[in-house]
Structure 1
Amino acid sequence: MAQGTLAQHLFGYREMWVSPLTWKQRVTIVLDVARGVEYLHSLAQQSFIHRDLKPSNGLLGDDMRAKVSDFGLVKNAPDGKHSIQTRLAGTFGYLALEYAGKHNFIHMN
């Protein structure tokens, strides 16, 4: 997308010759990503689990609004299930502790 990835703006803004994100932009981006995850978990016809949510998978448009990308590790959640057991996947360091833990359960509310 036009403004690149969230990772570029968080960690590489100097190389891009742009100003750091303002707190208002950061809050807007976090809310955009949260809405995307909510849609995947609860609002889509089929529920999905992203499994690799990280700054490089957040794309920013001209208006600095975020979109969730990279659905290569997405897992479908069975209808009516609020938790599933799955094989560990994703980028180490970005895994939720409860996901990377002993039982590998993902809880969806």
Structure 2
Amino acid sequence: MLEYTDYLKFISSFVIIIIFLYAIYYFVNNYGKGLIPGKKGLIKILDIRYISKGKGFAIIEANRQFFLISFDEKEIKVIKEWDTINTGDSLSEKDENNNP
């Protein structure tokens, strides 16, 4: 039969493991942005819309240009390219200059 000290050792070990896992989670979310692919770099996926399994559209930002691409299991096609886009939050510089 287990004694009181055995239960105490088990609970303390369990608590230490939980704290350790939470510390790793906190570190990766706050300081590990460069460790996770796609979070930092020159190419950003701004939005993806899937039509069916393995097929869809995406808006990509690369080298300060924006691309609307379509993709499926066999190929990727660039449909349209922009220098600036309207994200809905605010107008881009190009749109502000053209609108009175």
Fold match (TM-score > 0.5): no
Normalising by the smaller structure, the TM-score range is under 0.3
TM-score (normalizing by structure 2): 0.27
**Structure index of larger Rg:** 2
Q: Considering fraction of residues, name the structure with more strand.
A: 2
